[in-house]
Copies of this chain bind each other. A is one copy, B any other.
Amino acid sequence: MSMSKIMLALDEPRPLEEYQGLVAETCGLAKGYKVGLPLLLSIGPRGAEKLRRECGKAVWVADLKLADIEYTMKLTVSLLGSAFDAVIAHAFIGADNALQELTAVLEDRGMLLALVYSMSHPGAAEVYDKCLDYVDRVVEKVRPWGLVAPATRPLIVERAKRKYPWAVVLSPGIGAQGAEPGTGACAGAEYEIVGRAVTAAPNPLEALREIIKKRNRRLSICWRYAEFRRTWWP
């Protein structure tokens, strides 16, 4: 049951010290941290490096949702220093003169790429989900380390995992956005991303423990069900 991990999303701009405390406290229980654009804009890459020092063993992801041309994305990435293990970009922008070049630059800097496969909010159904066949071609060309697929629509997580078993799937949408802990993991995600449900809780550590408990309960059920299915419809 240790296969699925929790990644904490840190988005809201707050004093660095507050997040340093939160990271130190949750380090170990959370196996990864995802720093969003608003927080990065306010603490800067140097601040992110300081944050990282509070939990070096976790995976650190810069959630910039990059969606620009090659030239601009390269400039952005060059500012990140040594704060992150991976960077999130949108698959939607295509490989040519964009994600292909970004992959190369990240490789040079010892970072990995995670591509948004679809998003967690209702609006994602308006364009993203309808264009998944085209997005698939981009994913096949770029072959990123990770894929971001929404726990709010677990069928998309399943699709990502079925098509790209080699990719690490990060699944946002747990908690404030409505998905129950474990939904992403049951659909095959390696990381479930939780944000406000922990960071905005009066007692974040307690909230995180509660989420992990719920996740484990759901996982034990869905795994038993998968086992049952395997046994009876082999």
Contact residues in B for A90 (Cβ distance below 8 Å)? 67, 90, 92
Contacts A12-B75, A36-B75 known; A125 to B41 CB distance under 8 Å?
Answer: no
Contact residues in B for A96 (Cβ distance below 8 Å)? 121-123, 125-126
For A64, the closest partner residue in chain B by CB is B37
Which residues of chain A from 38 to 78 have a CB within 8 Å of any chain B CB?
Answer: 38, 40-42, 44-45, 64-72, 75-76, 78
Question: 1/0 per position for A16-40, CB-CB distance to B under 8 A?
Answer: 0000000000000000000011101
Segment at the B interface, from A105-113, A133-141, A155-163, A214-222: A133-141
Copy number in the complex reads 2
Tell whether, in the assembled complex, residue B38 and residue A95 are in contact, meaning their CB atoms are under 8 Å apart.
no
Contacts A45-B41, A69-B121 known; A127 to B75 CB distance under 8 Å?
Answer: no
In the assembled complex, how far is the CB of residue A195 from the closest CB belonging to chain B, in whole angstroms?
8
Chain A interfacial residues counted at CB < 8 A: 55
Tell whether, in the assembled complex, residue B123 and residue A93 are in contact, meaning their CB atoms are under 8 Å apart.
yes
Q: Which residue of the partner chain, among B12, B36, B76, B98, contacts A121 with CB atoms under 8 Å? A: B98
Give the distance in Å from the alpha carbon of A97 to the alpha carbon of B90 in the complex. 18
**Of A79, A125, A137, which is in contact with the most chain B CB atoms at under 10 Å from its CB?**
A79
Give the distance in Å from the alpha carbon of A130 to the alpha carbon of B196 in the complex. 35
Contact residues in B for A170 (Cβ distance below 8 Å)? none
Tell whether, in the assembled complex, residue B128 and residue A94 are in contact, meaning their CB atoms are under 8 Å apart.
yes
Tell whether, in the assembled complex, residue B131 and residue A127 are in contact, meaning their CB atoms are under 8 Å apart.
yes
Chain B CB within 8 A of A165 CB: no
Contact residues in B for A76 (Cβ distance below 8 Å)? 37-38, 41
Contact residues in B for A134 (Cβ distance below 8 Å)? 126-127, 130-131
Offer 12 A-B interface pairs, CB within 8 angstroms, sorted by A. Answer: A37-B72, A65-B67, A69-B119, A70-B121, A94-B123, A94-B124, A94-B126, A95-B123, A100-B123, A127-B138, A131-B131, A131-B134
Known A11-B72, A36-B72, A69-B120; further 6 A-B contacts with Cβ < 8 A: A13-B78, A42-B79, A65-B66, A67-B90, A67-B116, A94-B126
